[in-house]
Amino acid sequence: MHDLLDPIGTKLRGQTLVNLTSGTSAQAREAGEWAQQRDAHYLAGTIMAIPSAIGADAAVLLHSGPRSDSESHRTTLDALGTVTHLGADHGLASLYDAVGLGIMWSVLNGFSHANGADHGGPVGGPRSATRSRPLRSLQFAELSPPPHGEPSGGRTQQGAHIPMSNDNADTSAVSQLLAAYISVWNERDQQARRAILADVCTADAVYVDPTITAEGRTAIDAYVEGWQKQSPGMVFRFGEVRSHHDLAHFRWSFGRSIGSPEASGWDAVVLAHGHISRVYGFFD
């Protein structure tokens, strides 16, 4: 991108750049700062589709950056496929892309491994001569424990419940959830912000830091809105995540799009049924 656009940097003033090539979150944020230095607008994105799907609803396109820039070019973006704006942080689209690819390859590798078991041996290994019958998908469904609160034997024919590991939570899924939570702090549109909160937090979620306790999604939204009014132009950035069972903690920082962070810290999170139940914020 820089090889192409650096020579015409002065002509980019007032223009909107939409980058749909894959990269890292750090590269996306650097590109956003690069564009801002040239008085240009920037949307970072990624395409989750094969080339023949572009222009159809089956093409999923993710992008992040200022919502106003997204809305200004919504008609053009919608012509490419099903477009989702993830938040103001330019790094979000790359993060979601990495998470999606991680899930995809995990599923494909799991299928390949299961296919080997289904045929009586490991993938690429000799077929077991002693197995009396192949290990079929139904056997996995029979062995899968029921969801919490569902009595044994109460399984339906709609499919098996596959729970999260008791030893290690799916860090990719948790990272995606927490990235969506951080986007709440960057989302200045109240309706959109409340919609994200409803997706990621339980109705009785509680946020606690050294300055406040906010109980429920409405109270959390009010606190976020107050912070945004006191901190115009500030953007939260999402850092390293660690998780196990229904617990997680992650690093964060915030500052202007250009320059070093003005504050940083880490949050501890309690999860409940795939949603955020408690957030405990700590400042560096």
pLDDT tens figures, 230-271: 988 888 888 889 999 899 999 999 888 667 788 899 999 999
Share of the chain above pLDDT 70, in %: 76
Would the CA dihedral through 27, 31, 32, 33 be positive or negative?
positive
- 243: in domain: yes
- 153: in domain: no
Please give the model's pTM, rounded to 2 decimal places.
Answer: 0.48
What is the pLDDT confidence band of residue 137, given thresholds at 50, 70 and 90? very low
Which residues span the domain enclosing 47?
Answer: 2-94
The CA distance from 163 to 227, in Å, is: 37
- 135: in domain: no
Domain identity same for 90 and 175: no
What is the pLDDT confidence band of residue 219, given thresholds at 50, 70 and 90? very high
- 147: in domain: no
What is the pLDDT confidence band of residue 145, given thresholds at 50, 70 and 90? very low
Q: Which residues contact 45 (CB under 8 A, 6 or more apart)?
A: 18, 19, 20, 61, 62, 63, 64, 93
Long-range contacts of 13-16 (CB under 8 A, 24+ apart): 13/38, 13/39, 13/40, 14/39, 14/40, 14/41, 15/40, 15/41, 16/40, 16/41, 16/42, 16/43, 16/69, 16/72, 16/73
Q: What is the CATH number of the domain that holds 55?
A: 3.40.50.720
Domain identity same for 88 and 176: no
Domain identity same for 90 and 188: no
Last residue of a domain, one of 59, 94, 129: 94
- 26: in domain: yes
- 42: in domain: yes
Last residue of a domain, one of 94, 115, 132: 94
- 12: in domain: yes
The CA distance from 122 to 212, in Å, is: 54
pLDDT tens figures, 166-209: 334 456 788 888 988 998 998 888 888 898 899 899 999 999 99
Last residue of a domain, one of 60, 94, 128: 94
Q: What is the CATH number of the domain that holds 190?
A: 3.10.450.50
What pLDDT shows up at residue 237?
Answer: 87
Give the Cβ contact number of residue 216 at 10 Å: 16
What pLDDT shows up at residue 160?
Answer: 31
* Average pLDDT value for residue range 77-82: 88
Residue 152 has pLDDT above 70, yes or no: no
Quote the number of domains for the chain.
2
- 263: in domain: yes
